[in-house]
Structure 1
Amino acid sequence: MPKIKLDAIDRRILAALQQDGRLTNVQLADKVGLSPSPCLRRVRFLEDAGVIGGYHASLDRRELGLGLTVFVEVKVQRHDDESATAFREAVKARREIISCHLVSGQSDFLLQVVLPDLSAYETFLLDVLLKLPGVSDIRSNFAIQTVKAEGGLPLDHLPETALSLKSPMD
């Protein structure tokens, strides 16, 4: 559960902003059934509480020449703090790696990598991935087709009548 309790209006605000982060406050207020001032207070509270971590533009990878998405399973040799920190810092420094997850199973990490093409991936694999600190094994899975990407977070699990730790709203 979230650290703060969100009511139905908060959830509507979050859903609307996930759908269109460029809504003006007036448009958002209209969409969620509030007047602009209380709507802005709620948005500011959600931002300050860390529920809204930021706003960004959704870019079309193919239009930008990034036609290859690779899911890379990485196994590391050691799991000590120093090795883990070195690996994480090296991954964070690479713009081609758009997500990295510590996972259970046969691999230790799952990376999502975007590149122009297979040739670029070959170079990235040989010059970068295989040289990441502590890497012992790499398995590459190539996306053939993207069925769904960057969907908004599901909010249906949040309670309907959550009232504690609310902002000074309406």
Structure 2
Amino acid sequence: MSTTQSDRLRGLLEPLVGAEGLDLEDVELSRAGRYRVLRVVVDSDEGVDLDAVAELTRAISTGLDESDLMGEEQYQLEVTSPGAERPLTEQRHYERAVGRLARIKLHEGGELVARILSVDDGGLDVEVPGVKGRKATARRIAFTQIARARVEVEFNRKDKSTEEA
């Protein structure tokens, strides 16, 4: 039974990432000139701070040095978080995005930008902002209806504590 290098890397990385209390979101191996770049994307419910990234980078580096997964060729290791406009592909991604705006493309066609209010095993409840003075509307979207979704960056969102004051 043959496994790909990506599968073998995931096998090494998942326990190391899990030991730090993080989730392994993605592993990318690419070329940058004469080097290979191994990009490891991690996240958690509380987010990822720089100390956790530094500690995890050391653990991954040691694990890779002790294995032969990267061979003799030089590589650069990058450990990072998903970023502000992360794609939402797993239920836990939607749960972490509760309260945020998301751009959601539906299988049936059409796209909407809505605030994620809650998430359960079947899908999510969202609030679609009103346009031209209309009130916002609530909507239920099943995970099976979603083709793609991505968090939207909000530069001018008012903090709830300031709105209530």
TM-score by length of structure 1 reads: 0.31
Higher relative contact order (CA 8 A, sep 6+): 1
TM-score by length of structure 2 reads: 0.32
Query: Higher strand proportion, which one?
Result: 2
**Between Structure 1 and Structure 2, whose CA radius of gyration is higher?**
1
